[in-house]
Amino acid sequence: MPVYGSWRYVYVALFAAVAFVVIFPMLSVVFGSFWGAPPGRPGGFTFQGYINTYGSDLSTYRVLFNSFFIAGAKTVMAVVSGVFLAWVVTRTDTPGARALETLLAVPFFVPSVLTALGWAMLANPRTGSINKLLMMLPGVETPVLNIYSMSGIIWHMWQFSTAFVFILIVPAFRNMDPSLEDSSRMSGSGNISTLFRITLPLMKPAILGATLLTFIRGLEAFDTPVLLGVPANILVFSTSIYVNILGRFPPRYAEGMALSVSLMLIAMVLIVIQWRMLGAKQYTTISGKGYQPRLIRLGPAKWVALAFCSVYVLVALVLPVSQLIMSSFFRIFGLYTADMFTLGNYQRVLGDPVVWRSFKNTLIIAGGGALIALTLATLVSYFVQRIKVRGNKLLDLVAWLPWTVPGTVLGLGSLWGYALLPGPLNLYGTAWILLVAYINIGLPVAMRVMTGNVVQISPDLEECSRVHGATLGQTLLRIVAPLVRPGFLAGAILLFTMLMRDLSTSIFLYTPGNEVVPVVILKYWGEGGGSEVVSVVAILMLGLLVFLRVLEGYFRRLDKAKIQMESS
């Protein structure tokens, strides 16, 4: 469909808006890495930031090693366990597989900052609950666990990364033709032999994609390294950027920018590699013949599989969340006696204006960011899928670019770039800078949600509308908008839950009065404000997330019901 008159200008305005949100912060990071002064100060072009980072500061290479080692180790562990868990719940007769599929995915949706706090209480080398229990055993006189270590960081990152891999792999297992496995077993191969010789090779594209995405997210991770690594002076890319900018006086902007450019380039290269590798070969796992997936009978081993799934849920979800809940009812962390029981922690938090303000800010900024990102994504998807105009593929690519930009890099780029703009465009120190950054973060996910919704709409409906005299604008409002509304609402809740837990970007952009909940949690924890207070804030945030997930499920069921009614 060609572009209508004035809608050409709408397309140009849309491209300009997306470029302002997406490309401007990225260019600001590159510019800042070559600028010899803080943002807004007179300076000149220089390589000193890169020289200081990679020439005179040898600790940078320790940061590189830590980043790749932690990301690599947790990726290997997460892929092995995530693929195994997905195989167990989709292809075997393990008891309770339906309930397990839901429980095994939950750790991914719980903010990692919350479970990291839970494990900081459980495995603290001095006061950790697990260490105290272990030291009650005969012969155990010193703490066994230390969460503030390289192994502790990997341990916690493995937990939510396993759930991430699980979510990505489950659909691939469900769609695979089981007749290929049946042929293998009819030829005399056992379940284990069939798994390694038939199933896993056919799953190679899905596993490879999950592996690369998990590794990239490991390199970009901030929440776990800042809570568990910084206290032990174990720095990775993201926390080294954080320390250079917010942990030193004066801030080392050039060095932080140089590290940011390096991390951004590494992430981009890895994502390009993923696209090329997944597009290089074809693996047919779904045939044109109808089939019904058959479950593999594990015999007594099904109880072992059930135990493995249960232990994972216990470690990744039950233990840290239970620790947060328990700590919120006691005056002092670690002293869980009757005389220490109190509801005063809740009274302190509910009477703290900073906490209330952070929840209000989070609801407004994350909610606004989700709605605007989805609106932009709807327009971009419609232009790309329906309207023939030169450059629409470029618009699609730009909208997906934030997927390659780590949160710390986005935060630093926004801090630098939007602080230099003149007049009302200068967003520094306002809530608007957080809103724009959240739109950037949410845009790729919004594109994924809305592209699928737009593609499902038959062009015949739009043609019929225009035949009856409707303009393109009327068609969008009266035909397209109502049809994408259920998906839009479900996507809004999904995006909101994702944005409200962001810490890596928000930590660079907030100012007093514009705090969001994750920043307040980190601030209280870092200032020794009491783990019991942090526990209460964490529980309040967790409760809100549970409510939103239930609401999202309702909208998804509503969407499915609508599709069934239309097809019947």
φ, ψ for residue 529, nearest 5 deg: -70, 0
In angstroms, the CA 384 to CA 321 distance is 43
Confidence of residue 188 (pLDDT cuts 50, 70, 90): low
Under DSSP, the state recorded for 40 is T
Cβ-in-10-Å burial (0-12, 13-18, 19+) of 499 comes to buried
pLDDT for 516: 92
Dist CA 299 CA 173 (whole Å): 21
Please give the pLDDT value at position 433.
93
Region of residue 96 (phi > 0: left; psi between -120 and 50: alpha; otherwise: beta): left
Q: What is the pLDDT of residue 268?
A: 83
pTM, 2 dp: 0.84
Q: Yes or no: say if 40 and 425 are a contact pair by the CB < 8 Å rule.
A: no
Asked whether 506 and 411 are in contact (CB, 8 A), the reply is yes
pLDDT the model gives residue 471: 67
550 or 375, higher pLDDT: 375
Of 282 and 451, which is predicted with more confidence? 451
> Burial of 145 by CB count in 10 Å (0-12 exposed, 13-18 middle, 19+ buried)?
middle
Tokens of 69: 């080692």
Give the pLDDT band (50/70/90) at residue 84: very high
Q: How far is residue 440's CA from residue 369's CA, in Å, rounded to a whole number?
A: 8
Question: Which domains occur in the chain, in start order?
Answer: 1-38+329-568 (1.10.3720.10), 61-249 (1.10.3720.10)
pLDDT attached to residue 5: 52
173 is written with which tokens? 């297992």
- Positive or negative, the CA dihedral 198, 202, 206, 208 is positive
Length of the chain: 568
Q: How many distinct helices (H) and strands (E) make up the chain?
A: 27, 0
In the prediction, which pLDDT does 159 show?
A: 94
